[in-house]
């Protein structure tokens, strides 16, 4: 489930289009050595960055900071004023993420909020509507986060969910190791909701673990 082997195609793409600087390398190292080796790949970080740039996103929400790896890619999409509000439940990961971005080029563009996102998302609602949300947290929470996004992302904004193939669980009869029946049901619901063409222009990008991207049409 957490197999991090990279194909030669992806390695070429990373080396050519998604090079990591020292800050991204540090975030990746922190994730692997002090948290969990489950951050997105550099190629996915670059995809997020380009998507954010395409809609000129200034107010971005991220649910699941981990070591701030994806947060850094997102923050660097913002030209001029703007912020990534990133939510992290785990106090240890929160501390790591703060340490990673301290005194970096993106320190002023990232606000990390520690706590249960379903509660603490309320704290930023006065800044709504937001341009984009990237959901990469507890999988059973995805539909709850989507409910929030439907209320707080602007028309024309982006809703993105990582791991939306859920290691094949969304189409397999047997549950993959470490995936609960509830998580499978929630992810199927999440994808079904975002595949509604009357509400979204959307696709599940065939990245290694799948990433659903949807433009909100309402
Ligand atoms: C897991 C979570 C993730 O967000 C991810 O990208 C990969 C694995 C996990 O919980 O195993
Ligand atoms: Mg993920």
pLDDT at 5: 78
- pLDDT value of position 3: 60
| Predicted pLDDT at 73 | 99
Q: How many CB atoms are located within 10 Å of the residue 108 CB?
A: 12
For each of the chain's 218 residues, which pLDDT tens digit applies? 456 678 999 999 999 999 999 999 999 999 999 999 999 999 999 999 999 999 999 999 999 999 999 999 999 999 999 999 999 999 999 999 999 999 999 999 999 999 999 999 999 999 999 999 999 999 999 999 999 999 999 999 999 999 999 999 999 999 999 999 999 999 999 999 999 999 999 999 999 999 999 999 99
User: How close is the Cα of 162 to the center of ligand 2, in Å?
Assistant: 5
Q: How far apart are CA 216 and CA 156, in angstroms?
A: 5
Report which ligand 1 atom has the smallest distance to the Cα of 209: 6
CA distance 47 to 43: 6
Q: What is the CB < 6 Å shell around ligand 1?
A: 1-2, 38, 136, 162-163, 209
Ligand 1 atom with least separation from CA of 163: 6
Could you identify the atom of ligand 1 that is nearest to the CA of residue 39? 6
Residue closest by Cα to atom 7 of ligand 1 = 38
pTM: 0.98
Terminal Cα-to-Cα distance of the chain (whole angstroms): 35
With CA atoms as reference, report the closest residue to 31 among 97, 114, 85.
Answer: 97
Instruction: Specify the ligand 1 atom closest to the Cα of 136.
Output: 4
The CA 135 to ligand 2 mean position distance, Å, reads: 8
Residue nearest to atom 6 of ligand 1 (CA): 38
How far does the centroid of ligand 2 lie from the alpha carbon of residue 38, in Å?
A: 6
Residue 102 DSSP one-character state: T
What pLDDT score does 100 carry? 98
Neighbours of 38 (CB within 10 A): 18
What spacing in Å lies between the alpha carbon of 71 and ligand 1's midpoint?
Answer: 16
**Residue pair 41/13 in contact by the 8 Å Cβ criterion:** no
pLDDT of residue 38: 97
Q: Write the DSSP symbol of residue 84.
A: E
Fold of 2-216: Rossmann fold (3.40.50)
Spell out the domain ranges in the chain.
2-216
Cα 139 to middle of ligand 2, angstroms: 9
């Amino acid at each position: 489930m957490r197999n991090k082997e990279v194909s030669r195609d992806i390695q070429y793409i990373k080396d050519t289009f998604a090079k990591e600087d020292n800050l991204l390398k540090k975030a990746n190292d922190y994730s692997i050595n002090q948290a969990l080796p489950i951050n997105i790949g550099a190629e996915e970080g670059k995809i997020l960055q380009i998507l954010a740039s395409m809609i000129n996103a200034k107010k971005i929400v991220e649910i699941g900071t981990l070591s701030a790896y994806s947060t850094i890619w997102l923050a660097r999409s913002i030209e001029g004023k703007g912020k990534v509000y990133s939510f992290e439940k785990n106090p240890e990961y929160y501390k790591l993420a703060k340490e990673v971005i301290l005194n970096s080029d993106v320190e002023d563009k990232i606000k990390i909020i520690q706590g249960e996102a379903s509660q603490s998302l309320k704290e930023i609602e006065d800044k709504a509507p937001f341009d984009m949300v990237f959901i990469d947290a507890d999988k059973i929470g995805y539909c709850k986060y989507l409910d929030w996004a439907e209320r707080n992302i602007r028309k024309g904004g982006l809703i993105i969910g990582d791991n939306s193939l859920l290691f094949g669980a969304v189409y397999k009869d047997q549950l993959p190791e470490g995936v609960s029946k509830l998580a499978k049901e929630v992810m199927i619901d999440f994808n079904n909701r975002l595949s509604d063409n009357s509400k979204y222009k959307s696709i599940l990008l065939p990245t290694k673990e799948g990433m659903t991207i949807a433009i909100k049409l309402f």
